[in-house]
A and B are shown apart, each in its own frame.
Chain A
């Protein structure tokens, strides 16, 4: 099937810095792109999503950017906090389906 993958498996940032987590996808027939956060011992938790007809969406301290030309998705976290330490997954839903296809994840470590 199509792949949804991540550029970097691990990212270490200092508290207060901004974080950028990247994701490449190959399925151009996707309707939604979603970012999930997974803390140790827990299930993935929804952060933010973006529809394919948009190129930017902002939430609370997070921004998702979508570049359909190069099939690239990024998650920006402003003023990263220790509580942001987790594994972050990008996922996509094709126009024809309902289930999320997940990338392998990026581990974000926030150091004080």
Chain B
């Protein structure tokens, strides 16, 4: 398995532009998570899905952020409009069923977003 695949790896955009980050989870995993990492706040959970259904989006900063999972093999995180404070590394992770020690959370390599 190729692991969790994220794209793009790097994105530089201007304030006000729309940003779409993409994630392909590990095949067969039914939990998908979006995290954001900054120096100030560390790793923050934004939202997670179970079987393509959003379960907890309380970590989504504001209405400018939205996430979708149209099918089991694809998810997007969209920021519209983007702001400089959204600059961070965004990670997608997936896991098989609920955490039980054997079902660890596997992370993608991340998408580094810079908003100018």
Contact = CB atoms under 8 A, between A and B. Distances in A.
Contacts of B107: 43-45
A98 B99 contact: yes
A22 to B, nearest CB: 16
How would you classify the secondary structure of chain B's contact residues: helix, strand, loop or mixed?
strand
Interface in B60-116: 91, 93, 95, 98-99, 101, 104-110
A8 to B, nearest CB: 15
A101 B109 CA distance: 19
Could you say which interface size class chain B belongs to?
20 to 34
Interface residues of A, number: 22
A61 interface: no
B101 A99 contact: no
Interface of A: 31-32, 34, 41-46, 49, 51, 89, 93, 97-105
